[in-house]
Each structure stands twice: as structure tokens, then as C-alpha cells.
Amino acid sequence: MLAAAPPYTPRMPRTGKPFSVRMTNAGPLGWVSDARGYRYQPEHPETGAPWPSLPPTVLRAWAELAGYPHPPEACLINLYAPDARMGLHQDRDEADLAAPVVSLSLGAPALFRYGGTRRGDPTRSVRLQPGDALVLGGAARLAFHGIDRILPEADLLASEPALPSLPAGWRCNLTIRRVGRTT
Ligand code: MD3
Ligand code: FE
């Protein structure tokens, strides 16, 4: 999938400042950011190719976890080098804010920070481990959140496979989303 949709470096709207997180997507729509703004679009911003289809595992995770009677439309794939971070933000580029976001964490652990629905609200930090799944719905759907830092990767057990194509010390997060309204 990463071969068909190579990770790219998104840029901040207006300033064009590069994100430290690299991104790609799967599904009918993908989230992109560049100097023109944030948006969902059906094609890769650099190759112009349609995003690869949602893998069966992603569809199954949504079906088992989301509790939402419509299929996902987008899977944003965030790739964090050991020094990458993501500032505190809200996810509100989706027209359907009634649908939850399902997040799956892989690779290195990370320090995740979340607060309330206003930027100044107090925050808490939790460690996100590889294999963790979060379902962000209800009041949590509009909570401010971010990734403060990537933590050193635990040594893999001999029985655990390394993720192919994820360098040691990197983290990968998948967010599975509904974009359009269904009513
Ligand atoms: C809370 N990703 O892609 S996942 C993002 O680890 C994003 O890459 C982070 O924030 C990451 O927008 C955090 C956990 C998460 C995802 C979506 C949320 C938390 C959320 C949406 C609303 C509230
Ligand atoms: Fe987010």
C-alpha cells in the first residue's frame, strides 16, 4: 500500500511550514494539508493517483469497534520518525461529526495528550502502545489532542514480527474515519 501511495510531507496552510509527521491515506477519500488548506480529496497530492482501497483489516477494525452503521471512507496513515510530533488540534474537517474516529497505533509507543473541547482546557497525557485501539466518539470526538513525543521502542519478543517497511524507532498511527454526512 505504501508503494502505491508513498508517504509525503504535508505543509501548514498559509505558511507552508512542513509537518514533522509524514502522511498517506487509503480509501475513497484522504486527508491532505498544503499551503491551500486542509481538505479530503480522492487522489494523492503528489502522484495524482487515487488512494489505495481500504484493506480488509481496516474495514474489520471499523466494523468491530466503531458501532456506526455506515462504512468508513478514509484511513489516514501517520508516520512518525523518532523526533516527530503533532501539535494540539481538533479533528473537524469531517462533515459527519456524529461518526467516531477509530485510531490504531503500531510501532514505537508515544506520549499522547488530550484535553477538552476548548483549547485552554486542562489536559492529560497517556502512553499509546503498539496494538492500542482508541474509539473517539461522543464528547471526545471534538477533544483537543496531539502527540508530544515518540518514546523508545520496547525490544520485540522473539515471537513478535517487526513491521515490514517501518524503520526501527518509528511509529505508525491509522485513523479510520467517516467523512461525508449520511442524512
Ligand atoms: C481525539 N493522530 O490524525 S490518534 C490525527 O497518533 C491525529 O497520529 C494522532 O490526531 C496520532 O488527527 C492521534 C488518536 C486520536 C485520533 C483522532 C481523534 C484522537 C482523537 C479525534 C478526536 C479526538
Ligand atoms: Fe487528530
Global pTM reads 0.96
| The pLDDT value given to residue 115 | 98
Residue 111 belongs to a domain: yes
**Residue 12, in any domain of the structure:** no
- Tell me the residue range of the domain where 39 lies: 22-177
CATH number of the domain at 54, please: 2.60.120.590
Within-domain flag for 16: no
Return the C-alpha cell found at 99.
461518526
Pick out the residues of the known binding site for 2-oxoglutarate.
78-80, 171-177
pLDDT digits (tens, 9 = 90+) for 15-67: 999 999 999 999 999 999 999 999 999 999 999 999 999 999 999 999 999 99
The ligand minimizing its distance to the Cα of 128 is 1
Ligand 1 binding pocket includes 91 (Cβ within 6 Å): yes
Q: What pLDDT score does 33 carry? A: 98
C-alpha cell read off for 9: 510531507
Q: How far apart are CA 145 and CA 182, in angstroms?
A: 26
CB 80 within 8 A of CB 7: no
**9 in any annotated domain:** no
Domain count, the chain: 1
Residue-wise pLDDT for 103-155, tens only, equals 999 999 999 999 999 999 999 999 999 999 999 999 999 999 999 999 999 88
Q: Check pLDDT > 90 for residue 162.
A: no
Cα of 123 vs centre of ligand 2, distance in Å, is: 15
Percent of the chain at pLDDT > 90 equals 89
Cα torsion angle, 153, 24, 112, 57, sign: negative
Does some domain include residue 115? yes
Task: Please report whether residue 17 resides in a domain.
Answer: no
* Average pLDDT of the residues in 71-98: 97
